[in-house]
């Protein structure tokens, strides 16, 4: 981090303006971004037009194509957080890049779980007549949400970057253990939430081929979106950290000047 740029410390005036690149985009992200947009359009087409309405649920079943992909991508992002945290902790180098990946991934994971909660409760309103049920899966999902809000709170505790990285890596590695709990909560409890209706074809949503394919499109679309967002966010975080280091140069110059003034 200190090797960014051999800028002399005695020119504070241009601190913070010289950044290696002004945008967080690269060719790779552009391609992924376009792919994500295309997949989204495709998803809209399939979800709203091509796939059929459900026998039991009617048109509201179309919420499935957001509901399930978002939570799966959220799982994915928390797993990525855990893996990146692990790599950060267990490699000798303790590279902050992994820490930033973990942080960025968790931020979008929280956003996606939030989306699941919102869409799920709207759906619940349509099918169950209420926004919320004390159902095992819903409860555990809410817990997952809170646990990662806690993770983000730990990241904001302050201290040096390495300190932030260490603390949050531990929390990130342990919080991922909640995912199996969420996933198997339906088995653990006697629950009214949908049991695994995709893996085995029982349950009250009969998955026909189009529906399955639409779901697949949804998963692809949201995954691409996730990758695109995380790539941008990690770069932005790198720049934030870098700016902070620049800020340090300025502050150092000020501090030394204060001494000279005496």
Partner 1 sequence: MSTWRVGWLIARKDLRIEWRSRVITNQVLPFAFVTMVIFGIALDANTDVLELVAPGLVWLATMFSLLLLVQRAFSVEADDGALDAMRVAGVDARGIFLGKAIGLVVQLLVLEVLLLCAAMVLYGETIRLDGVVLLVTTMVSATCGLAAVGTLYGGLAAGSKGRETLLPLLTLPAVAPVLIGATRAVESALGTGVAELSEGWQWVSLLTVFAVVFGVGGALAFGPLIDE
Partner 2 sequence: MSAAAPSEPPAASAVASDGSGPVVELRDVVATLGNFPALSGTTMHVDQGEIVLLRGPNGAGKTTLLRLCAGLVPVVRGTATILGHDLTVDRERVRPHVGLLGHQNGLYADLTVGENVRFWGSTVGATTIEIESAMERMGVADRLESVPVSKLSAGQKRRTALAALVARRARLWLLDEPHAGLDQRARDELDEILTQASQSGATVLVASHELDRAESLATRTIDLIAGHAGSESDR
- Interface residues with partner 1 (CB under 8 A) are 89, 121, 130-136, 139-140, 142-144, 146-147, 149-150, 153-154, 156-160, 162-163, 166-167, 170-171, 173-175, 177-178, 181, 188-189, 191
Q: Which of 223, 219, 222, 242 is nearest to 24 (CA)?
A: 242
* Separation of alpha carbons 218 and 29, rounded Å: 20
Smallest gap from Cβ 147 to partner 1, in A, equals 4
Residue 213: which H helix or E strand, with range?
helix 209-260
* Separation of alpha carbons 209 and 148, rounded Å: 35
Partners of 54 in the β-ladder? 58
Q: Determine if 259 is a binding residue for partner 2 (CB under 8 A).
A: yes
Q: Residue count at the site for partner 2 (CB under 8 A)?
A: 16
Comparing every residue's Cβ against ligand HEM, the nearest one is: 120
Q: For the residues of 172-197, what is the DSSP string, one character each?
A: HHHHTTHHHHHHHHHHHTT--S--ST
Options 30-38, 50-58, 105-113, 249-257: segment touching partner 2 (CB under 8 A): 249-257
Which partner from the list partner 2, ligand HEM, partner 1, none does 258 bind, CB cut-off 5 to 8 Å by kind?
partner 2
Classify the C-alpha dihedral 15-17-22-23 as positive or negative: positive
Smallest gap from Cβ 255 to partner 1, in A, equals 21
Smallest gap from Cβ 232 to ligand HEM, in A, equals 26
Options 18-26, 67-75, 105-113, 159-167: segment touching partner 2 (CB under 8 A): 159-167
How many CA atoms lie within 13 Å of 82's alpha carbon, on the beta-carbon side?
Answer: 13
Q: Determine if 138 is a binding residue for ligand HEM (CB under 6 A).
A: yes
Residue 57: C-alpha distances to residues 60, 100, 141, 246 (Å): 6, 42, 23, 57
Residues with Cβ within 8 Å of residue 75, at least 6 apart in sequence: 179, 183
Residues 166-185 that bind ligand HEM (CB under 6 A): 182-183
Which partner from the list ligand HEM, partner 2, partner 1, none does 120 bind, CB cut-off 5 to 8 Å by kind?
ligand HEM
Of residues 91, 163, 201, 210, which one binds partner 2 by CB under 8 A? Answer: 163
Q: Residue count at the site for ligand HEM (CB under 6 A)?
A: 22
Q: Determine if 194 is a binding residue for ligand HEM (CB under 6 A).
A: yes
Longest dimension (CA), the chain: 83
Residues with Cβ within 8 Å of residue 83, at least 6 apart in sequence: none
Give the residues lining the site for partner 2 (CB under 8 A): 2, 158, 160, 162-163, 244, 247-248, 251-252, 255-256, 258-260, 262
């Amino acid at each position: 981090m200190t090797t960014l740029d051999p800028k002399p410390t005695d020119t504070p005036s241009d601190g913070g303006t010289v950044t290696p690149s002004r945008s967080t985009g690269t060719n790779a992200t552009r391609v992924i971004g376009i792919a994500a947009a295309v997949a989204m359009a495709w998803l809209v087409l399939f979800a709203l037009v091509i796939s059929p309405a459900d026998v039991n649920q009617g048109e509201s079943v179309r919420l499935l194509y957001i509901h399930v992909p978002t939570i799966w991508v959220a799982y994915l992002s928390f797993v990525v957080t855990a893996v990146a945290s692990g790599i950060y902790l267990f490699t000798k180098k303790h590279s902050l890049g992994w820490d930033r990946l973990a942080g960025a991934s968790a931020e979008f994971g929280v956003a996606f779980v939030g989306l699941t909660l919102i869409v799920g409760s709207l759906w619940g309103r349509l099918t169950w007549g209420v926004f919320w049920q004390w159902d095992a899966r819903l409860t555990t999902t809410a817990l997952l949400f809170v646990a990662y809000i806690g993770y983000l709170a730990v990241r904001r505790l302050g201290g040096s970057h390495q300190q932030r990285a260490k603390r949050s890596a531990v929390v990130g590695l342990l919080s991922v253990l909640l995912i199996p709990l969420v996933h198997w909560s339906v088995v653990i409890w006697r629950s009214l939430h949908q049991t695994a209706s995709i893996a085995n074809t029982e349950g009250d949503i009969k998955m026909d081929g189009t529906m399955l394919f639409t779901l697949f499109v949804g998963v692809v679309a949201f995954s691409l979106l996730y990758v695109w967002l995380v790539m941008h966010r990690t770069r932005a975080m790198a720049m934030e950290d870098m700016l902070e280091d620049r800020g340090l140069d300025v502050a150092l110059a000020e501090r030394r000047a204060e001494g000279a003034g005496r």
